[in-house]
Structure 1
Amino acid sequence: MTKQHLPDHLLTGYRTFVEKRLPGDRDRLRTLADEGQHPPTMVIACCDSRAVPETIFNSAPGEIFVVRNVANLVPPYEPDGEYHSTSAALEFAVQALKVEHILILGHSGCGGIHAALSPGADPLSPGDFIGKWMSLLDPVAASFNSNDHMTSRERHAALERTAIRHSIGNLRTFPMIRDLEDAGKITLHGAWVDIGTGDLWGMDPESGDFDRLAIGPGESA
C-alpha cells in the first residue's frame, strides 16, 4: 500500500481536485508551466482561512498573485529592517511580474486587528512574533483605544478598514511603487470583505471611504 503522508481531509480535497477541476485546468496549467506567470494583479490578504482571495474573486491559476500575512499588513519601506517577507513579494510582483494593480484585502473579525487593539489578550498575546508584527499598527491603534465614545466592536471594525488605508500609505513609501503610480503604470486598491455575508466593500481612492459593491444578478460593477 502506498504511503500517503498527508491528513485524510487534504487527500480527499486533492482527489476531488484531480477528478473534477484538473481536467478543465490542465491546458492552462501546462501553459503556465511552460510560459511562466503573468498575473495583472497582486492581492495582499490576511492568513485567515475564512477570507480566501482566490475564492472571493473566483480566480483561476495564474490570474492573481497572492501574499497572505497576519492582518494583511504592508510594512513601510525598510531595506535594512526586519519585515522582509511581504516586501520581498512586493519587489517580485512589481519588478519581475510587472503587475498593474495591488489590492489590500481586509476582512471582518480579523484576529490580528484584535491583537493590535488588545495586546496581551488571549489567545493572541504578544509572544515572539504576533506582537512585533502588529506593532506596525501601534500609532493607528492607539488613536482608537483612546476613543471612549466608540464601543469595542466599533473600534475593531474601524481599525480593520483604517489598517487598509495605512498599508496603502506604506506601499507608497516604496520608491519603485511610488514612481510607477506617479507614471500611471500601477494602481493601488483597498477592499474589505464581510466573511459572514460575502459582501465586498471597495475603497474610494479619493475619499478613502468604503462602499459596498452591489454586484448581483442583473447588476454590474
Structure 2
Amino acid sequence: MNRCKNIASSLLVAAIICTTMSCKEEQGTFNVEVYETSAAGNNLTRVTPFEIKDSTTVITINENITYQKITGFGGAFTESSAYLLNRLSKKNKDSIIDAYFSNRGANYSLTRTHMNSCDFSLSQYSYSPVVDDMELEHFTIQEDRDDLIPMIKDAMAASDDGFKIFASPWTAAPWMKDNNHWVGGKLLPKYYDTWALFFSKYIDAYEAEGIPIW
C-alpha cells in the first residue's frame, strides 16, 4: 500500500475501463483504435479497428426491448480522497461533493467503500487490531472517523435521490492470515467465524453512524 495523496486519487475512483480508445477524424470519418490492457496493467494489445461514419451510420435504440437492469453508476469512497477533500475550503469541498452527488451534477447512485485499509488509504490498518481477538471485542472503525465517514455523510446530505453503498475488504488483518502480512496470503480456517463476525460488526457500526450498507 502507498500513501496516496496525489491529485490523481483526489476524489472518486470510478469504474475501471478495460479498453483505451484513440480517435482521430479524417474527412467526416472517425477512425477508432482500441487497445485492451492486460490483467497486470502493463501490456496493451491492439484490437482490430473499426470505423464510424458520422454522415451515414445510424444507431437506433429500441426502448421497448430491455435486458439486464443497471443498478446504478458511481465511484468509490476512499480514505485518501476523503483526506484531500477535507483539506479544501468548505466552498470548494461543497462544490466537489455537489458535482458528484447532487441532481445538478453526476447524481451518483451506486458507490463503494473499503473495509479496513485499501491501496487508496494513508496507512495500513484494520478494524480488528488486536491479535487473536476471536470475538472482536476490540473491533473499531475509529480510523474512518476523521475523513472517510464525514465524506460519506456529506455525500448523503448532498444527494437528492440517495445512493446505495456496498463495501468490500482488500484483506483481513495480518494475524488472521497464513503469511501474517497485509499483502498476499490466505485466511486461516480457524478465523472463518471471526471473519464472518467482522462483516456483521462493520455493518452494525456503520449503521450506527447513520450510513446503511446495501
- TM-score after normalising by structure 2: 0.34
- TM-score after normalising by structure 1: 0.33
User: Which is richer in strand?
Assistant: 2
User: Which is richer in helix?
Assistant: 1
